[in-house]
Amino acid sequence: MGEEEESVGKFLKWATKLGITDAPLDTLDSEIQTVSSCLGKSLFVSEFPDAGGRGLGATRDLRKHELILRVPKSALMTSESLMLKDQKLSLSIKRYPHLSSTQILSVCLLAEMSKAKGSWWYPYLKQLPRQYETLSTFSHFEIQALQVDDATWAAERAVSKAEMEWNEAIPLMRELELRPQLLTFKSWLWSSATVSSRTLHIPWDSAGCFCPVGDLFNYAAPGMESYSSEEIASWTQTSTLDSSSLEKSASDEELEVEHIDGDSLRLTDAGYEEQVEAYCFYARRRYRKGEQVLLGYGTYTNLELLEHYGFLLNANPNEKVFIQMEQNINFNSWPKDSIYIQHDGKPSFALLSALCLWVTPPKDRKSVGHLAYSGKQLSAENEVSIMKWLRKKCEALLEKLPSSIETDGLLLTSIEKMQNHTSIQEVKKMISACEVEIGNFFESTNSQTFDEVGKFHLSSKARRSIERWKLAVQWRLRTKLHVALPIDPLVGR
């Protein structure tokens, strides 16, 4: 047994003692406590290299909406539970009422890390990632690699916010006498990214909670349930989507229905349930034995996934590209965040309705306004004009960006070769193809080394940077492909 596998085994045994279980509801507590692992009845821990890394698989066939994991309230790590076990922490935090709930949880996490093996939560803390690629961790070079203004602004804002919150929390952390290495901005970035990417919602604390075992589920984007396994497998990136789609028979349909409290149908993936005082997780669809079981965190664009979780999806059904519009186009009836191009390249309902009126002669707008706002096509000519205008707008957006879709594709290939310790000859070819950006990467990380046999090696700093750089290039390439999607001018709503 490897060291990592042994560590996971100890963690699952520890979790069992806390009452965490994937056993059916009718299983006796005495039966649960006698097993060596909290998993095995419904789920198992495994590596899914092409779909998010470590995650949870189905031990057996699972029905849609079936309860598959329970984590008691006593096993949830919250600011409240940590302060109950640490009087000094509790008294100190009360002296800093200006700190937000997320800042407090970040400090609490660092305080537990400072205790090392002395922490009651040590088996769980050992399982947390030691590195994240959320936007707040991006360097200036990596931020600029995003290219699109909305994304660079979001990244700069995330870094600035993290730094401000760290400065505000330093007095509290010093009062708690945390170890010097835990007082650094680097440690704060790790702690705040852990809070951002791993906490689950609870009704009594807006910062959320850490949920041992429950936070092993990888992400499934809402809206992906109906796609085929081949499509989903090809769309997976850094984290995950569903890995299969199954045909349904009449009997299968009956099996999918599970009633909670008599007539109420379970519609959510997970949530804290007061009546059982536990966080409960349900299968979002039917799973066959061996498949990865996924959890929907919510609806996010790729930029939001990158900001809060540190990954993105090759194809995201919730992706949006917001377009800057001329001031003479009246969007007053719609909020700004409803004006965008959808993942399929078509304008959103709000954008289409507003453009319908804009291309209509002013004298006719009042008479057809009710049709535009109800989603009706005013005329084929009207819609063709809209689509031509939108296509021209998208072309202008692409021309404004520093690199083309083709160049970004070559650059991604080069980055992957660099990560795989390529030869000096290949590096020279890559530099000639993407000279400026690769050169800027070497300059920003101060690394460009080759071993005695001419193999390319990266410093630890460069290895961390190259993963974020790769994410930035992937994000901008997917955004450009999104904008470049052909728009059929005769397609209706």
- Cβ-contact 111, 176 below 8 angstroms: yes
- For 350, the token pair is 């709000």
Q: Give yes or no for residue 229 having a pLDDT over 50.
A: no
pLDDT, tens digit (0-9, with 9 covering 90-100), for 435-482: 677 777 777 777 656 555 556 667 778 888 899 999 999 999 999 988
pLDDT tens by residue, 400-418: 999 999 999 988 888 888 7
- Is 70 exceeded by the pLDDT of residue 313? yes
Residue 63's nearest CA partner among 347, 253, 302 is 253
Interhelix angle for 460-483 vs 405-419, to 10°?
A: 150
Residue 391 is inside which H or E element, if any?
Answer: helix 380-400
Q: What is the pLDDT of residues 81-121, one digit of tens each?
A: 999 999 999 999 999 999 999 999 999 999 999 999 999 99
**Over 60: is that where the pLDDT of 357 sits?**
yes
Domains of the chain: residue spans and CATH: 1-74+216-230+268-309 (3.90.1410.10), 77-210 (no CATH), 321-400 (no CATH), 405-449+456-484 (no CATH)
Task: Give the closest residue to 397 by CA, choosing from 358, 345, 452.
Answer: 345
Structure confidence at residue 353 (pLDDT)? 77
Model confidence pLDDT, tens digit, residues 16-62: 999 999 987 766 455 555 566 888 999 999 988 776 678 999 999 99
- Cβ pair 71, 282 in contact under 8 A: no
Distance CA 474, CA 241 (A): 17
Residue 345 backbone class (left: φ over 0; alpha: ψ -120 to 50; beta: rest): left
Tell me: pLDDT of 354 over 80.
Answer: no
Mean pLDDT of 346-375: 71
Residue 4 confidence (pLDDT) above 60: yes
Instruction: Check whether 348 has a pLDDT greater than 60.
Output: yes
**Dist. CA 302–CA 284, nearest whole Å:** 21
**What per-residue confidence (pLDDT) applies to 487?**
47
pTM beyond 0.85: the answer is: no
Q: Check residue 199 and give its pLDDT.
A: 95
Give yes or no for residue 433 having a pLDDT over 60.
no
Cα atoms in the Cβ-side hemisphere of radius 13 Å centred on 256: 13
The number of beta carbons lying within 10 Å of the beta carbon of residue 94 is 9
N- to C-terminal Cα distance for the chain?
56
Q: In sequence order, which residues have a C-beta less than 8 Å from that of residue 177 and are 6 or more positions away?
A: none
**Coil, helix or strand at residue 24:** coil
374 vs 299, higher pLDDT: 299
431 or 414, which is more confident?
A: 414
Give the lowest-confidence range in 283-292, 310-319, 398-407, 447-456: 447-456
Write the pLDDT tens digit of every residue in 477-492. Answer: 999 988 887 544 444 4
The H-or-E segment that residue 202 falls in is strand 200-202
Q: Are 210 and 71 in contact (CB under 8 A)?
A: no
